[in-house]
Structure 1
Amino acid sequence: MIRPKLAEFKLMFLMMAVFTTVAIGFWQAFDQPFYLINFAIIGLSISLGMGLWPLLPRDKKPWARRLSQVLVGGYLFFGLGCGLIYLSFGVIVPENMEIEGFWFMVFAGVFQAAAIHYFVAKIVGPIFFNRGWCGWACWTAAVLDLLPWKMSPGRVPGRWGHLRYLHFALALGLVASLVFIFGYTVESQHGIVIYKEAIQTDTPQYTSMFMIPEMWWFLIGNLLYFGSGIVLAVVLKDNRAFCKYVCPIVGFLKPSASVSMTRIAPKNDRCTRCTKCTVNCPMDIDVMRYVQEGKPVLSTECVLCLTCTSVCPEEVLGTKMGPSLSSSDYLRVIKPASKRSAQQAHQPDSQTAV
């Protein structure tokens, strides 16, 4: 077994540094030990997977990422979303961690719960660790990645990806309408379940977390996400179809990812143009084209899943840290059948990566 080099653990060190800083910063700023525990759990879970990645054999590496997905996604879904992390305080406090929950917090001028989550993971975070949230922590992707269509046929041509921005706008419009037209507020959906005489609060109390409006927002939103994600995966034979065409979070992620300090990049010139990096990319990025041009993968579609680094037989790819600006978005797009037939007729012995 080849011993991994220290440089292969730099993503782990980066995540540990970022989340340690965030944990201590929020703890001190709000004088709440909860934030220290919260971000320590998330940071350690992601760092564990990124630390295991270099240690595992090539064909087992994806399990390191899935471990982080399960740990972080499970904690965020059940611990924060369903409010079970607060059991030790004698209460259950559901939090709507979907995008609507973020907008409710923004319009209420409250910086907590979903607002903090989005700020750290999806607005500021990508500047440091790209769209690592999508690759290593998203609970929706954690489920969709278990489906059998791991090798995408390619990106659907046209403007299907614009549906994500429409979804983003609809979520914003829905919450804005409820708040400014119907007077719906954060207080309208918030509530807790007290099962011990642990605290005294004026917050509305319920006998079950499933009676709390915020819980319904969270559960219904997730059911729609999981349902549409599975349907799209089945129809398009692509596990990550939801991420490419429907997920609204890219409205936050892509602008920050365009200036990310962490990229996949070629580390040597041994590329044989085998196209494995491109064909295996779950987000349909034409990785080989970036390699051939001697550039980092500047696409804002990259979720830093590291798949391309593990399938490259010449170990050409690795991670690079430093300032960068996304100036190109090379994607592998599905060609219409007529064009494929014409190309094969003129070039019967060649294969072209789009």
Structure 2
Amino acid sequence: MNIKKADIEEQLRDATIEDYDESVDLLCFIYEVKNQSEKYVIQTIVKDVLEHKESLSNTYRRRKEILNTLKQLKLPEQRSPEWYEMRKEKLTASSLGTAIDKCHFQSREELLLSKIEDTPYLPNPITEWGVKYEDVAIQFYEELNNVKILDFGLVPHPSFEAFGASPDGICDDTGNDPFVARMVEIKCPPKRKFTKSVPHHYWMQVQGQLEVCDLDECDFLQVKIEEYENYEEYQKDIFEIDGILQNGRTMLNYPKGVTITYKNNEKLSYHYCKLNQSDKELHEWIASSDQTNIHEIKWWKITRYENTLVVRDKQWWSENVEKILLFYNDLLSYKDNPVKVQQLKDTISQQKKRKRKEEPKPLDPFQLLSDEEP
């Protein structure tokens, strides 16, 4: 019988034996080993496989410990008044690219001014779309990977008060060890084209988030969500297996569903039903929902997704952390200095004038908008 590493890996993965000698003896029996050379090959492979299993076990254990620490933090909810106030006091991961002058949506000076002056956050159509469908994308990710996503607010860096991050979610410890404490960053771009690689300003954002939470990896999930023209179009888009209708699935076997938008004092909020519901269940859910201040009811579908694993890059962080400190020190020096603030405004005004002269008019107004919150 030929000795193959892949076969031995499978044998040891399914076996409950963790002891080196017992594993070697068992495999020598299975492969009917006849000489020392064959035994040596088995010993070498077993040693490598068991060391890898132990390394993974240690990694999962460490991630669970970090996750438990994060769960104990008392944090403001995302997009709460406390959350916005805390964001003004420090640089956050979503603005990291801007702070180190590597973002084309906003200048470093504009970011400084936004943290000095008390200007209300005004969402644009891109960011509002992302807020509206982020929870749908999270449910989709949970379904794909058999995990449960935990929501976190703004997490301050434990040692670097200048910096913080608001991850979209982190996988809970639900038994799927390869995903435990994996961070998830969600993007639901209505216009931007999908790419296999992560756009660099988002990659920098993820690096900042991983550093704050002391985690190893993050799934960067892009989900394309479209809205049906009406309920009739929703009804026509179906998926069947052996003639049996699959609830809440499109012809491509992606999720579809409905979202209720509420509008109160010009502020929008959203209400979602869980995935894979029948049309009858969805209508019952709509009827049982709060009917006050309903702005619109939209039937939606997922048409595409792209998931890219981003691994923590400690060297990149080390090379850029001084720039973060410089931004933070500039923020502190500008805050109580009206003269410097006016100089900052003058610089921004000059930048905008130059930009208008240099840049051609965009073909699409969405080109001017980032899908990232400030």
TM-score (norm 2): 0.21
- The structure with the greater share of residues assigned to helix is 1
Question: Greater share of strand residues, 1 or 2?
Answer: 2
> Which protein shows a greater Rg?
2
